[in-house]
Structures are given as C-alpha cells and as structure tokens.
Structure 1
Amino acid sequence: MNFRKMFEFLRDLQKNNNKEWMDQNRYRYHEVRDDYITWLNELDQKLMQVDDNYISTDGRKALNRINNNLLYHPNKPIYKDHFGAGLDLNASGKQGDFYIHIGVNESFLAGGYWKPKKELLDSIRDAIDYNGDEFKKVLNKKSFKDTFDLIDDGESLKTAPKGFSQDHEHIDLLRKKTHAVSHSLTQKEIMQADFIDHCVHVYKEMMPFRDYLNKAVTV
C-alpha cells in the first residue's frame, strides 16, 4: 500500500474540496481507494489468524464513504479529510468495530462503543455492575494504558444512572455513555513497511477490552 499517495491525495483534496476538482481527479481517488481496500483485505486475513472470534470483513464493506453527510451536517466540507474503515463487523450491529482512521489532520486506531444505543449501553452497565472488577483489570493493565487513550465524549452523567447507587464501587464507569479507546498514529509510522504488523499488535492489545464489551451486549 502506497500511503504516501494517500496523504498526497488527501492534502490536495482539502485544498480543492469541491465536486469539480474531485471529478477531474477521480482516477487518483479510485487508485488510492482500491489500493487501500487491498491493504484492508490483507489486514483482515492477519486479524483472522490472531482472533478466533474475529468476523472477516471485506475491505469494500469496511471502507466508509469519503463524502460527508451534508443532510445532517450542511456546514461541513463536501469531502472528508480522511479514509475511515471498520473491521470485525457483524450484521446485527451488536459489536464494536476495530476502526482505522488515516487522515491529513489525525490518524488513529480505535475500538469500542461510541455513544451506543440505550439497549447496548444498558447491557454494558449491567456487565459493569455484575463484574466491573474484570473490566477495570483490563483498563488498568500497564501495556493497555501505555497503548491507548480513553475516548471522552464529554457527556458522562454527573449522577448515577437510573437503577444504580451513587456510591457504587464502579460509578465512574457506570456514568460513561461512551466506552472506546484510541491509539494515535503518525504519518511516519503509517508509511513504515511494518505498519500492518503494528496494526495487528494494537488489535491484540485491544482484544480484552473489546471482548468484554462485545460479550456484554450479546450475552
């Protein structure tokens, strides 16, 4: 995968974020996109080898559209400044994906649940209530803390959620509406020959975190 071409395309796109420019340079977009899909499929195969519960995801389905949704966000640019893709997806939606975000302003790997629907958040809270010690053991593992930042959506409750005591031993986790982590990437790291292996390493470090959450919403 030629990530240098991807970054060059994204930088040019952000300088010329309009349909006319995209139409004239669509061949560049397709070249980068198709190369990235091939890379995603290679990563998909590697992740299958390290996780027995991994759900194979075709790169074309994993890749998000580069167009912004202007219906709900009319003030955004027409096109995104990044390529985003979600692997390890199931049809029911009851599974947090392994998300890959490569862009001109920021790049990162992430996983977990960003503002999940009420039924999913309720299930996660029930799991924390039942066995929050296991989750905290995952969160407090040194290698995990060294690898990830907890994503803060800024919407944690100030009081206990309904049905839980204010002095619950895991009240800090129960108040959260988002349970997700991210691992920042530099352009230099992405363009290294072993970048795909780095993604596998991060995935493996994230597995206990995602396993806990995915089990919580499916059991």
Structure 2
Amino acid sequence: MSTPSRPDTATAPVTIWSLEQTSPADLRPSAAPDGDVRVVRSERPLPEFSRFLYTAVGGDIQWTDRLGMSYAQWQDALDRPGAETWVAYENGTPAGYVELDPQDDGVVEIMYFGLIPAFRGRRIGGHLLSVGVARAWDLAERWQERTPTKRVWLHTCSKDGPHAMDNYLRRGFRLFDTRIEQEAEVETPGPWPGAHTA
C-alpha cells in the first residue's frame, strides 16, 4: 500500500501494523448482523468488478497501489491459483469484500478487506472478516494445488478506518510488527474521478 514519493511531492508518516493468526483456533467469529446480509465468493474473477470493489471501498482511505494496473495485470492477479474474492451483499447490494492472496508455505494474506462507506458502522465488517478468515484457513480444500494453510496475516495502517484495528484484534489476530513509512500525500481518488462521499 506504500506509494513511492517524488522529491516535489509532500509526504506524511503512516504507521503500518502487521497482524497474524497461526491456527484456525485463533479465529473468534463475529455474530452475523441482522437483516439480509450474505457473503458470497465471486467465482468468475472479473477485473471490472474487482476494480469497482477496490475503488468503492478504498477511495476515501487512499488505496492507490492498484490504480495504475492494466486490465491484463488485474486479470493476472485474480487468476492466480488460490486467489479468491468474497463479497458481502446487503439486500442484494455489494457492501464490501475480502481478497485472499495465497503465498508460499501455507501462508494466506488478507490482501484487501473493507466496506463501502455507506455500509460501515452496521456490524457487517466483523461478519465479513470472520467469513474471509475462515475461508483463508480452509483455502486448500478448494484448491488442490495449495498446501494447507498454516498462517493467515494482514496489514492495516493509520489511514484505515477507526474501527479496523479493533475488528482485527476481536477476530483473534495478534500484532507482530509495527513500522512507520513516509508516503506521498495524494488526493482521495474516490470510486471514480471527481466522486465524493456525501
């Protein structure tokens, strides 16, 4: 999530925290929220849909690392064996997502996780994270070429929402690294150029 800075670009310190689980027993699931909330795997990976989720969730918290990717690069990222996207829907509307990134030696990273701003603060995030982490732990059951998961990890930063860290800790993640990086200050990209959250 770090963005290289140019000499003429203003920078600001960003704290990055890395957290992990090392056993499926570490997961402490959240209760499901009230109402029609479903978490479904996106079984046909499409760059168009993935980019929509990425910009809609990350636009106001300065997710920019994938904005320069071409369609082919985006497709390649989605087509890797074991890469999965799980999407939360409320009453049929996408509310947020979890993207799982399989790595070597039974490691799975929660690469992206979050909610579209209109759905934050409604107890959907804890449920979505619970489902996403559970699916990271049983990833090898769906992908024969993957070894059983031994570790699930993620990172969050001081630009993320105010409830992000608490959600991770409540789900059983443990902090294993903290660092501070200088990142370029960028305008909030929003879900599309010129868009702003009301």
Larger radius of gyration: 1
**TM-score, L = length of structure 2:** 0.28
Task: Give the structure with the larger helix fraction.
Answer: 1
> Which structure would you say has the larger RCO, counting Cα contacts within 8 Å and 6 or more residues apart?
2
Question: Between Structure 1 and Structure 2, which shows a larger proportion of strand residues?
Answer: 2
Give the TM-score normalised by structure 1: 0.26
